[in-house]
Amino acid sequence: NEMRDRVELLIPGVSEKRTFIGTFHAFCTQILRQHGSHIGINPDFGIFGQKEDQEALLRDALQEEIDNGKSFSLRDISLLPAIKELRSRLVTPEKAYLKNYNLHQKEVYELYENTLKAQNILDFEGLILESCRLLHLVPAVAARIRQTYPFWMIDEFQDTTPAQYFLLHYLSGGVFKNVFVVADDDQIIYQWAGASYQQILKFKKDYEPEFIQLVENHRCPPEIVTMANQLVGNNKQRSPERTPTLASRTTPLNAAIFTQFDTDEIEKLSIAQAIAELGEANWGKVVILGRTRYLIEPYLDALKIFSVKATLSQRRDNFVSPQFVWLHALLDQAVRPTNRRFFEILTNAANRICNLELDATLLAVESDAIGMNHYEYWAKVAKESSNILAQKLGELAYNLAQSRVAWKKIIVEAIPLLVDNAKGDEGISDADEDLIVWNIILKEIRMENG
């Protein structure tokens, strides 16, 4: 979204021209929703990007096999990282059998793959893998993409994985070379995921690009640029055409203040006090950076002591607040009512919102016994509870179960109710931030589908 916003500032209206600006995974999602039926993928597939969801899916599948007397164990969940590694290298279960990988690992992999297919789910590795399979088996899809998008640019190319490079290969079909990549071979930081200097060498060989170096650094002061040049000059794997980077800015006075504190507690309070003394008009210009949320949260507590309002910003792969987790799960259930994982998420989120103690497994068994959709049965139970908020959420879920076409109206009613429920006196809530993300996603859907 940041990239799209920046481009929109430079070229107003570019998003309305159906220019695609997004990640590899987002592009693969679009390809598979539009063309995945060629290889048996339903367009309404769900996406499990979180480790917890993938583990829960495999755990349920293993438990079912164990109950049927098969030679599996719940300890086989520990094989999931190895399975994901195989998928990230485009190794399917069939290829795993041919390449003589560990037999039991292959059987667990096959179970995981079959469960994903049965529940119409793709994980992140599957988005790339299945897109490569589609483009390889149905090259006409790649030809159509080349016709639709005659100009390609890939940012941060140095961090692409071998699977993503294969995706580019299948998309280009070996004939399309109108590809512009932005890369810095001194910043290959995702080697653990397969990124490699070899990717840059392959690109130079396969696409014969013109080399353009952006020599000037507009971000860092000269001292930083000088030290960086000295450091990266020791790298052995870097483009021989490169020349040292030049600093284009000067260092302002008092650009850096170095302070030493006796304890962590004194450090937090001193920094919070210094921010408070800047005045409320300047608080929005201040950023505190830390490697983990664990390190940053104590500073939030210190800022509250000085009545400085602050919010914790972090990357979000999914919604964080139980309010929007519930709403997202509800819409997922409307599309995939038999998916147990989404039902568990819906039930657990509602329990947190309304202080309920409903058991998703028990509700699923009871709903199956009377032939009712899981989330519709949850709605029935919630409506009959003594909890006022649960009654309101149950009414919304019940209305969606009766008419999926009314989803827009239901969302309009649900969001104010959910956001108000999350209100507190400590600045911006997780629900407030999730609402911003929700509106961005809604805007993207409208731009893509009209």
Q: Write the CA distances from 108 to 74, 207, 234, 350, 406, integer angstroms.
A: 11, 39, 44, 33, 41
Instruction: Give residue 270's pLDDT.
Output: 94
Query: Pairing relation of β-strands 216-217 and 179-181?
Result: unpaired
Stretch (H or E) spanning 46: strand 46-48
pLDDT: which is higher, 415 or 192:
415
- Reference 128, options 153, 178, 162; nearest CA is 162
- How high is the mean pLDDT of the chain? 88
Q: Band of the pLDDT at 6, cuts 50, 70, 90?
A: confident
Instruction: Give residue 103's pLDDT.
Output: 81
Q: Band of the pLDDT at 18, cuts 50, 70, 90?
A: confident
* pLDDT of 17 higher than 90: no
pLDDT: which is higher, 326 or 446:
326
* pLDDT of 176 higher than 60: yes
Query: Pairing relation of β-strands 121-123 and 152-154?
Result: unpaired
Q: pLDDT tens digits for 19-36?
A: 888 899 999 999 999 999
Instruction: Give residue 426's pLDDT.
Output: 52
Instruction: Give residue 351's pLDDT.
Output: 95
Q: What does 68-87 look like in DSSP terms, one character per residue?
A: TT-S--GGGGGGHHHHHHHH
Percentage of residues in the chain with pLDDT exceeding 70?
94
Report the pLDDT averaged over residues 140-161.
Answer: 94
* CA 405 to centroid of chain Cα atoms: 27
Q: Show the tokens assigned to 301.
A: 């507590």
Percentage of residues in the chain with pLDDT exceeding 90?
52
Q: Which CATH superfamily is domain 2-29+130-207 in?
A: P-loop containing nucleotide triphosphate hydrolases (3.40.50.300)
Q: pLDDT tens digits for 42-94?
A: 998 989 888 888 998 999 999 999 999 998 999 999 999 999 988 988 998 88
Q: Band of the pLDDT at 438, cuts 50, 70, 90?
A: confident
- Average the pLDDT over each of 171-185, 201-215, 288-302, 341-355 and give the range with the smallest value: 288-302
d(CA 206, CA 197): 15
Sorted by where each begins, the domain ranges of the chain are 2-29+130-207, 46-119, 264-305, 322-449
Q: Show the tokens assigned to 52.
A: 């917890």
* CA 121 to centroid of chain Cα atoms: 15
Q: Band of the pLDDT at 316, cuts 50, 70, 90?
A: low
Token pair 């100009």 in the structure block, residue: 151
Q: Band of the pLDDT at 432, cuts 50, 70, 90?
A: confident
Q: pLDDT tens digits for 251-302?
A: 665 566 778 899 999 999 999 999 999 999 999 889 998 878 788 889 999 9
Q: Band of the pLDDT at 425, cuts 50, 70, 90?
A: very low
Report the pLDDT averaged over residues 215-221.
Answer: 85
* pLDDT of 98 higher than 60: no
- Reference 267, options 221, 231, 299, 315; nearest CA is 299
Instruction: Give residue 186's pLDDT.
Output: 81
- Average the pLDDT over each of 242-256, 266-280, 369-383 and give the range with the smallest value: 242-256
Q: Band of the pLDDT at 230, cuts 50, 70, 90?
A: confident
pTM for this model (two decimals): 0.73
Residue 169, burial from CB neighbour count under 10 angstroms (0-12, 13-18, 19+): middle
pLDDT: which is higher, 310 or 256:
310
pLDDT: which is higher, 153 or 16:
153
Report the pLDDT averaged over residues 167-189.
Answer: 91
